Amino acid sequence: MTETLAPLTGLRFSKGHGTGNDFVLLADPDGDRTLSPEQIAALCDRRRGLGGDGLIRAVRSRHVPEGVELLVENPTAEWFMDYNNGDGTRSEMCGNGVRVFVHFLINEGLVTLAPGEELTIGTRAGVKIVSRTDDGYRVDMGPWDFIHPEARGKGMDSLVETLGLPDERPAVSITMGNPHTVVALSDLDELAAANLHEAPSVTPVPPHGTNVEFAVPAQPLVTDDVGHISMRVHERGVGETLSCGTGACAAAAATRFWAGSDAPDVWSVTIPGGVVGVRFFPGEDGREHVELSGPAVIVADGVLA
Ligand SMILES: N[C@@H](CCC[C@H](N)C(=O)O)C(=O)O
């Protein structure tokens, strides 16, 4: 037990993952268990803690300032996903995390949700509607957009340099509520050659840092009206992970933009931890929304010694 974790003795936790993107989950319905960034990093430490790409605290929206704001327009958003990266920094959103979060709420008996039903969740990137499916969850992630307005015309706005790959590569920065920079690589050999032990260098880096996705369009790109890409990711506040849901949405959005107006609305994104689905559809707010679908698993419940 490290000194940082000692004050947390007796803390109940669960461990879960979505396509290998793994999280420590804590139920804190009344908002009386705020953790310091150091405690979060210690819990996520893979050798001295529980291990996780991130830590998710489930708290009623009325107990966090961002949640109170959301409740004004969305009174049904009872639960707030307080998402933190493994290094203790906060992120606005996590696409794999929000599926695992809802699965955790169900597992804890805090909500009931049958297949076909939906739940409104508060996050730092606004409310998200999560539907339970027969084999996982589907999330309306809201609209995507370019971070740098000049990318709207040409779909490229930055350069990325990465260990293991010769030359700087053109890239585009996209927001899914959290920031992403997507680089297209030519084939799976290049994807394997990228060394993501160190953060890729992005120029210009978006104002709040970025997650970097390396995407390889399949050949052929489209089969039966579904676009296919393979992807690896280096996450802000974590390092390389087996999967990133918001990153898969950003990579699909960039690849679809680059492919032109005939590109399909439905995409399958293969990451090292599995496969997630991405679909683009017109939202009720008049903007193009992104839907993410994939599995959610709880692997253990426990108590901190
Ligand atoms: N893996 C997540 C994204 C987690 C947050 C990210 N590291 C950030 O800092 O924005 C996902 O599945 O979306």
pLDDT in tens, 69-94: 999 999 999 999 999 999 999 999 99
CA distance 185 to 179: 20
Do 225 and 105 reside in the same domain of the chain? no
Q: Is 44 a catalytic residue?
A: no
The preferred substitution site among 90, 91, 181, 231 for testing ligand 1, maximizing ligand atoms within 8 Å of CB, is 91
Q: Domain total for the chain?
A: 2
Do 31 and 134 reside in the same domain of the chain? yes
Q: What is the CATH number of the domain that holds 51?
A: 3.10.310.10
The answer to whether position 53 is within a domain reads yes
21 is known to lie in a ligand binding site: yes
Do 126 and 185 reside in the same domain of the chain? no
Beta strands in the chain (DSSP E): 12-18, 21-27, 54-60, 79-85, 118-123, 126-132, 137-143, 145-146, 158-161, 169-175, 179-184, 201-203, 211-223, 226-235, 239-241, 266-271, 274-282, 288-294, 297-303
Among 35, 244, 251, 269, the active-site one is: 244
Do 256 and 272 reside in the same domain of the chain? yes
The answer to whether position 283 is within a domain reads no
Atom of ligand 1 nearest to the CA of 93: 5
The preferred substitution site among 244, 292, 293, 297 for testing ligand 1, maximizing ligand atoms within 8 Å of CB, is 244
pLDDT at 1: 54
Is 57 close to ligand 1, i.e. is its CB under 6 Å away? no
The answer to whether position 17 is within a domain reads yes
Q: How far is the CA of 87 from the centre of ligand 1 (A)?
A: 12
Do 176 and 135 reside in the same domain of the chain? no
Length of the chain: 305
Mean pLDDT, residues 236-244 taken together? 98
Site of tokens 């706005």: 157
Q: Is the model's pLDDT at 2 over the cut of 80?
A: no
Do 75 and 161 reside in the same domain of the chain? no
Do 26 and 79 reside in the same domain of the chain? yes
Helix/strand/coil percent split, the chain, to 5: 20, 40, 40
Evaluate the CA torsion angle 143, 144, 148, 153 in order and state its sign: negative
Does this model's pTM top 0.90?
yes
Is 246 close to ligand 1, i.e. is its CB under 6 Å away? yes
CA distance 49 to 44: 6
84 is known to lie in a ligand binding site: no
Mean pLDDT, residues 59-64 taken together? 98
Is 123 close to ligand 1, i.e. is its CB under 6 Å away? no
Residues 6+ away with beta carbon under 8 Å from 46: none
CA distance 242 to 233: 8
Residues 6+ away with beta carbon under 8 Å from 246: 93, 94, 95, 141, 176, 177, 178, 180, 211, 292
pLDDT tens readout for residues 179-214: 999 999 999 999 999 999 999 999 999 999 999 999
Query: Chain-wide mean pLDDT for the chain?
Result: 97
| In the chain, % of residues over pLDDT 90 | 97
The answer to whether position 285 is within a domain reads no
The answer to whether position 1 is within a domain reads no
Among 94, 182, 183, 252, the active-site one is: 94
Do 133 and 211 reside in the same domain of the chain? no
Beta strands in 110-208 (DSSP E): 118-123, 126-132, 137-143, 145-146, 158-161, 169-175, 179-184, 201-203
Do 128 and 150 reside in the same domain of the chain? no
Q: Is 249 a catalytic residue?
A: no
* Biggest CA-to-CA distance, the chain: 57
Residue 84 DSSP code: E
Looking at the DSSP assignment, which residues form a beta bridge with residue 266?
Answer: 226, 279
Label residues 223-247 b or e (16+ Cβ within 10 Å = b). Answer: eeeebbbbbbbbbbbbbbbbbbbbb
pLDDT at 153: 86
Tell me the CB-side half-sphere exposure of residue 135, using CA atoms within 13 A.
Answer: 6
The answer to whether position 195 is within a domain reads yes
The answer to whether position 286 is within a domain reads no
* Residue 214 one-letter amino acid: F
The answer to whether position 288 is within a domain reads no
* Structural domain containing residue 238: 145-277
Do 190 and 116 reside in the same domain of the chain? no
Mean pLDDT, residues 21-50 taken together? 97
Report helix angle 245-259 to 95-107, nearest 10. 140
Its ipTM equals 0.99
Evaluate the CA torsion angle 214, 220, 221, 227 in order and state its sign: negative
Is 238 close to ligand 1, i.e. is its CB under 6 Å away? yes
Contact (Cβ atoms closer than 8 angstroms) between residue 227 and residue 248? no
Do 13 and 139 reside in the same domain of the chain? yes
CA distance 26 to 245: 21
Do 225 and 160 reside in the same domain of the chain? yes
